[in-house]
Amino acid sequence: MANHTAHHPAFTFLRSEFIDALNVTVQEFEHTVTGAKHFHIASDNDENVFLVGLKTVPTDSCGVAHILEHTVLCGSERFPVRDPFFMMIRRSLNTFMNAFTSSDWTAYPFASKNKKDFNNLLGVYLDAVFFSRLDELDFSQEGHRLEFAEPENAESDLTFKGVVFNEMKGAMSSTTSVLWQTLTKYLFPSNTYHFNSGGEPTDIPDLSYQDLLAFYRTHYHPSNAVFMTFGDISAEALQAEFETKVLSRFERLDTQISVPNAKRYFSPVRVEEGYAAEEVKEDGSHVVLAWLLGESTDLAQQFEAQLLSNVLLDNSASPLLRVLEGSDLGRAPSPLCGLEDSNKEMSFMCGLEGVKREDAGKVEALIVSTLKDIAENGVPQDMVDAMLHQLELSQREIGGDGYPYGLQLILAGLSTAVHSGDVIAQLDLDPVIADMRGKVLDRQYIPNLIKSLLLSNAHRVTLTLSPDDVLEARRNKAEKDRLSRIKAALSDEQKQNIIERSAALKERQSQVDDMSILPKVGLEDVPARLPQYDKHKKAGDLPVTFYPQGTNGLVYQQLVIALPELDEEEMSYLPLFSSLIAELGVGEQDYLAVQERQAQVCGGLGASNSIRATLEDRQSVNGYFVLNSKALVSNVVAMSELLKDTIMNVRFDEVSRVKELVAQRRARREQSITGQGHSLAMTAAASGISGYSAQQEAWGGMTGIRSAIALDDALKADDSAAMAVLTIFSRLHGKILKASKQLLMVAEPQYEEQILTDVLPVFADLPQGENVNHFTFPKVNQSIKTAWLTSTQVSFCSKAFRTVSGDHPDVAALTVLGGFLRNGFLHRTIREQGGAYGGGASFDGSTGAFRFYSYRDPRLTETLADFDASIEWLLSEDHSEESLEEAILGVIGSMDKPGSPAGEAQGDFYVDLHGRSLAYREKYRANILAVTIDELKKVARAYLTKENESVAVVTATAKRDELEALGFEIQALEA
Q: Are strands 145-148 and 96-97 parallel, antiparallel or unpaired?
A: unpaired
- Segment 912-918 mean pLDDT: 92
Does the structural domain 11-175+192-255+503-515 have CATH classification 3.30.830.10?
yes
Contact 17/66 with Cβ under 8 angstroms? Answer: no
Q: Which residues of 546-566 are buried (b: 16+ CB within 10 A; e: fewer)?
A: bbbbebbbbbbbbbbbbbbeb
Return d(Cα 945, Cα 871) in angstroms, integer: 9
Q: What pLDDT digit, counting tens, does each position of 629-673 carry?
A: 999 999 999 999 999 999 999 999 999 999 999 999 999 999 899
Contact 65, 201 (CB under 8 A): no
Which of these is catalytic: 17, 30, 47, 69? 69
Q: What is the dihedral of CA 682, 688, 690, 692, to 10 degrees?
A: 60
Q: What is the CATH number of domain 785-972?
A: 3.30.830.10
Question: Quick one: pLDDT at residue 257?
Answer: 92
pLDDT at 431 over 70: yes
Q: At what angle do helices 319-326 and 360-377 cross, to 10 degrees?
A: 150
List of residues 6+ apart from 260 with CB closer than 8 A: 190, 191
Measure CA of the first residue to CA of the last residue in the chain; give whole Å: 67
Is 69 part of the annotated catalytic residue set?
Answer: yes
Q: What is the mean pLDDT of the chain?
A: 93
Helix (H, G, I), strand (E, B) or coil at 227: strand
The top-level CATH class assigned to 536-744+768-776 is alpha beta
pLDDT at 1 over 50: no
State pLDDT tens for residues 785-818. 999 999 888 999 999 999 999 999 999 999 999 9
- Bridge-based pairing state of the strands 145-148 and 158-161: antiparallel
Cα separation, 920 vs 926, in Å, equals: 10
Domain ranges of the chain: 11-175+192-255+503-515, 269-403+412-468, 536-744+768-776, 785-972
CB neighbours of residue 409 within 10 Å: 25
Identify any residues that bridge with 787 across adjacent strands, giving them in sequence order.
Answer: 953, 970
The domain 269-403+412-468 belongs to what CATH superfamily? Answer: Metalloenzyme, LuxS/M16 peptidase-like (3.30.830.10)
Mean of pLDDT values over 579-597: 96
- In 603-645, beta strands by DSSP E: 605-613, 620-632
Supply angle C-alpha 602, 604, 606, rounded to 5: 130
User: What band does 401 get if pLDDT is binned at 50, 70 and 90?
Assistant: low
For residue 288, what are the CA distances in angstroms to 183, 324, 348, 463, 593?
A: 8, 11, 10, 5, 28
Give CA–CA dist 860/864, Å, rounded.
6
**What amino acid is encoded at 181 in this protein?**
Q
pLDDT band at 391 (very low <50, low <70, confident <90, very high): confident
d(CA 845, CA 807): 9
Query: Tens digit of pLDDT for each residue in 134-152?
Result: 999 999 999 999 999 998 8
pLDDT tens-digit profile of 60-91? 999 999 999 999 999 999 999 988 998 898 88
Could you read off the pLDDT of 672-713 as tens digits, one per residue? 998 899 999 999 999 999 999 999 999 999 999 999 999 999
List, in sequence order, the alpha helices (H) in 807-917.
811-821, 861-876, 881-895, 901-913
pLDDT of residue 168: 93
| pLDDT score at 975 | 62
| Confidence (pLDDT) at 374 | 96
| Dihedral Cα 428, 432, 437, 443, nearest 10 deg | -150
Residue 882: what pLDDT?
Answer: 93
User: What is the spatial distance between Cα 445 and Cα 378, in angstroms, rounded to a whole number?
Assistant: 9
DSSP structure class, residue 389:
H
Record the pTM.
Answer: 0.92
pLDDT for residue 774: 64
Q: 466: closest CA among 313, 338, 330, 369?
A: 330
**pLDDT, tens digit, 9 for 90 and up, residues 723-745:** 999 999 999 999 999 999 999 99
**Residues with Cβ < 8 Å from 377, sequence gap 6 or more?**
none
Let me know if the fold of 269-403+412-468 is the same as that of 785-972: yes
- CB count within 10 Å of CB 743 equals 22
